[in-house]
Structure 1
Amino acid sequence: MLKLIATRIGEALIALLLMSLVIFLLSRLTGDPVALLLGDGATEADKAKLTQDLGLDQSLPIQYLTFLGNALTGDFGRSVTAGSQPALELVLLRLPASLSLAAVALVFTVTIGILFGVLASIRRNSVVDIAARLVALIGQSVPSFWLGIVLMYVFAVQLGWLPTSGYGQWQHYVLPAATLGLFTLAAITRLVRSSMLEAMGSEYIKLARIKGLSEAAVIWKHALANSLIPVITFMGTFFAVMITGAVIVETVFSWPGIGRLAYESILSRDFPVVQTVVLVITSLFILANLAVDLLYVLVDPRMRIRS
C-alpha cells in the first residue's frame, strides 16, 4: 500500500513538472502582452520598462526557471490586468465557485446516471432502456456551449423559471450544473448499464436468487455493488471533465469561477494568471486521480493483494 502511494505521488510530481513546462511555453506563443497592455501610443521606453518589469527580457529557459522557483514558494507572479494582484490569490478567490458547481454537477450526474443505468439494464430493450441510451447518445454528442444556450433560452428566457446568470442561490446552480454534467451523465449511464448486464448473468447473482433473496436485494445490493467499480475507476476523469468543462459553461452563464477567469486571462494575455489557473486545475486533476486509485484499492480486494 505504501509503495503504491509513493509511486502515485512520484508520478503526480512528474506530471506537474511537465505540465508547468507545457503551459509556460504555450502561454508565450499567444502574443506579446506588452503591446496589448500599453496600446499603440506607447513609446519604446515604456515598452522596454514594462518588458523588464514582467521579466520578458530574459531568455525562455531563465524565465521558466524563475517561474518554477517562485512557484515552489507559492509565488506565481502578479496579474498584469487586475491591479497587480497576486495571481494565486486571484485564482483562490474564484476556486470555491468552481468547486461548488463541479460538486453539484457531479452529485447530480452520479445519482441520475446510476439510476438510469440500473433501470436500463433490468428493463433491457424496453422503452426505459431506449430512452436511457438516447440520453447517453445526446449527452456525448451535444456541445456544452450550445446546450447551455438552449437551456438558458427555454428555462430562463421563455419560461422564466431560472436565472440566466448569478451565483449564490440554489436556482443559480440548476442550469450550469445540468449543462456541465450531461456528458458525464451519459458516460455513467453507459458504464452502469454495461456493468449491470454483465453482473446479472454472473454465477453469484444466480446463487443469490437460489438462496431466496428478493429481486430488489439482488439488484441493488449485490449486482450494483460490483457494477460501481468501473464508475469509481473513472471518477477522477469525471471530476476533471467537470473542472475543465467549466471554462465553457462558466463563460456562458457568467459564473465567477476559475474557468471564466482563465477565459478572461487568455483574452488579455495575462501570463501569470493563465499559468496559475492551469496548474491549479492540473493539481486538482492529479489529486482526484490519486484519491480514486486509493479508493479503488479499498473497494477491490484484488487490488489490495497486488499492492
Structure 2
Amino acid sequence: MSVATASGVVPGVMRSPWVAFAMRRLWRILISFWVLLTATFLMIHLIPGDPVRSALGFNAPIEVVKSEQQALGLNDPLWLQYLHYVQNLFSGHLGVSIATKQSVSQIIGDRLPATLEVSILAFVLVMAIAIPIGVFMAVTTRGGQRRSRELAFTSTSVLLATIPEFLTAVALVYVFGVQLRWFPVAGRGDAGSYVLPVVSLAIGPAAVLARIVRVEMLTVLGNDFIRTARAKRLPARLVYGRHALPNALTATLTVGGMMLTGLIAGTVLVENVFAWPGLGSMIVQSILGKDYPVVQGIVLIYGVGVLLVNLIVDVSLAVLDPRSAIREN
C-alpha cells in the first residue's frame, strides 16, 4: 500500500460513525469510572467521626486505634491518600477489613458469585416472563379489543410493580417457606434455595417490562410493514415473531439493561431477607459494623457493574439499530 493510500485510509476510518461511537462511549465510561472511584474514596472521609474508632469500639485502647489508622493511611494528607487509593485499586488491592483483617478483594471474590447468580437468574426470569406476556397482551388487545383483559393486566402489573422487593420476599417466605414448606427460607444450598430469592427479585421488574413490551408491540403492529406482511397472508408466527417482535425489542433492551442494574441493587435487601451469602448481605453487615473499607470495595464493585451493564446495552442497541449510533452527536 502506498503512503498516499495509507494516509487516506486513516482519516476515512477516523470519520467512521462506528469509530466516533466507540470514542464517545470510551470517554463517557472513563469519566463515569473516575467519578465513581472518587465518590467511593470520599465516602469514608465524609462520614462524621472516626471510622476506625467506630469499628473497633469506643473502649478500644488508643494505641490500637492509632495503629489501625496508620495501617489504613488515614494520617496522611488527603491527596496522598487518594493517590495511594488509586494505585492500590489498579494493583488489585481494595484494602483490608477492619473487623476481620481479611483482604477486601478476597471478601468480594468469595461473595460476588452468589450475588451474580441470583441477579442473572432473576434477569433471565424477567425476560422469560415479560416478553411473552407483553407480546400476548399486545396481540390480543390491539385495536381496543378485550377491554376487561387489558384492564386486569394493567391493574395487576401496576400493583406488582409498586411492591418493594423485600416485602415480596417476606410474603413469599411466609407462604411458600413457612406455611407450605415447599422451599427453604434461608441460605444458599440446593436448587430449591434459589427459587424464592430469584422470584422476589423478578416479580416487580417483570410486571414493568411486560407493560413496556405491550406498548412497544402495539406501536409496531400499527406500522405499514406489518400491514404489508398481513396482506401477504404470512403466518401469524412470522408476522409477530420475525417482523414485529425484533422492532419492539429496542426499547425493551434499554429498559431491560436498566432493570438489570436495579436487580443488582435490589439484592441488598433480598439477600438479607433470605440470609443469602452475597455482597448485598455483606454490605449491610459492614455498614452496621462500621467496616468502611469493605463498604467502599462493595460500593465500587456495584458501581462498576452498573457501568458495564450500561455499556453492554449501548453496544447492543448500536448493533440492533445502527442509525441510533450514527445519528447521535
Which residue does the alignment assign to 2:22? 5
Question: 1:188 touches 1:231 (CA, 8 Å); kept in 2?
Answer: yes
Question: 1:236 touches 1:285 (CA, 8 Å); kept in 2?
Answer: no
TM-superposed CA distance for 1:25, in Å, is 2.1
Query: Which aligned pairs between 1:146-185 and structure 2 lie closer than 5 A?
Result: 146-185=167-206
Question: What per-residue deviation string (whole Å, max 9, x for no partner) do you get for residues 134-175 of structure 1?
Answer: 332123211111111111000000010111012142211111
Question: 2:184 touches 2:193 (CA, 8 Å); kept in 1?
Answer: yes
Which residue does the alignment assign to 2:87? 69
Does residue 98 of the first structure (1) align with residue 119 of the second (2)?
Answer: no
TM-superposed CA distance for 1:182, in Å, is 2.0
Question: 2:209 touches 2:256 (CA, 8 Å); kept in 1?
Answer: no
Which residue does the alignment assign to 1:253? 274
Q: TM-score, normalised by structure 2?
A: 0.87
Alpha-carbon spacing, 1:71–1:263, altered in 2? closer, same or farther (3 Å): same
Query: Of residues 260, 274, 281 in structure 1, which corresponds to 2:295?
Result: 274
Which residue does the alignment assign to 1:144? 165
Which residue does the alignment assign to 1:110? 127
Query: Of residues 21, 40, 48 in structure 1, which corresponds to 2:38?
Result: 21
Question: 2:135 touches 2:217 (CA, 8 Å); kept in 1?
Answer: yes
Question: What per-residue deviation string (whole Å, max 9, x for no partner) do you get for residues 191-212 of structure 1?
Answer: 1010011111111111001001
TM-superposed CA distance for 1:304, in Å, is 5.6
Task: Return 5+ residue gaps in structure 1 as ranges.
Answer: none
- Residue 81 of structure 1 aligns to a residue whose secondary structure is coil
Q: Which has the larger radius of gyration?
A: 2
Does residue 199 of the first structure (1) align with residue 220 of the second (2)?
Answer: yes
TM-superposed CA distance for 1:305, in Å, is 4.5
Following the alignment from structure 2 to structure 1, what is the Cα–Cα distance between the partners of residues 38 and 150? 46
Alpha-carbon spacing, 1:31–1:251, altered in 2? closer, same or farther (3 Å): farther
Question: What per-residue deviation string (whole Å, max 9, x for no partner) do you get for residues 191-239 of structure 1?
Answer: 1010011111111111001001122321222111111111112232121
Question: 2:118 touches 2:194 (CA, 8 Å); kept in 1?
Answer: yes
Question: What per-residue deviation string (whole Å, max 9, x for no partner) do you get for residues 89-128 of structure 1?
Answer: 2102111111111111011111100111112212224444
Q: TM-score, normalised by structure 1?
A: 0.93
Identity %: 35
TM-superposed CA distance for 1:183, in Å, is 2.5
Following the alignment from structure 1 to structure 2, what is the Cα–Cα distance between the partners of residues 24 and 42? 25
Following the alignment from structure 1 to structure 2, what is the Cα–Cα distance between the partners of residues 100 and 250? 12
Question: 2:21 touches 2:326 (CA, 8 Å); kept in 1?
Answer: no
Task: Return 5+ residue gaps in structure 2 as ranges.
Answer: 1-17
Number of residue pairs aligned between Structure 1 and Structure 2: 306
Which residue does the alignment assign to 1:80? 98
Which residue does the alignment assign to 2:286? 265
TM-superposed CA distance for 1:23, in Å, is 2.2
Which residue does the alignment assign to 1:283? 304
Amino acid at match of 2:198: A
Greater mean deviation of Cα atoms: 117-126 or 261-270: 117-126
* Aligned alpha-carbon RMSD (Å): 1.8
Greater mean deviation of Cα atoms: 184-193 or 101-110: 184-193
Question: What per-residue deviation string (whole Å, max 9, x for no partner) do you get for residues 27-71 of structure 1?
Answer: 331643322333343333332222222222233333222212211
Query: Of residues 129, 139, 148 in structure 2, which corresponds to 1:122?
Result: 139
- Residue 187 of structure 2 aligns to a residue whose secondary structure is coil
Question: 1:167 touches 1:173 (CA, 8 Å); kept in 2?
Answer: yes
Following the alignment from structure 1 to structure 2, what is the Cα–Cα distance between the partners of residues 194 and 262? 38
Which residue does the alignment assign to 1:58? 76
Question: 1:251 touches 1:260 (CA, 8 Å); kept in 2?
Answer: yes
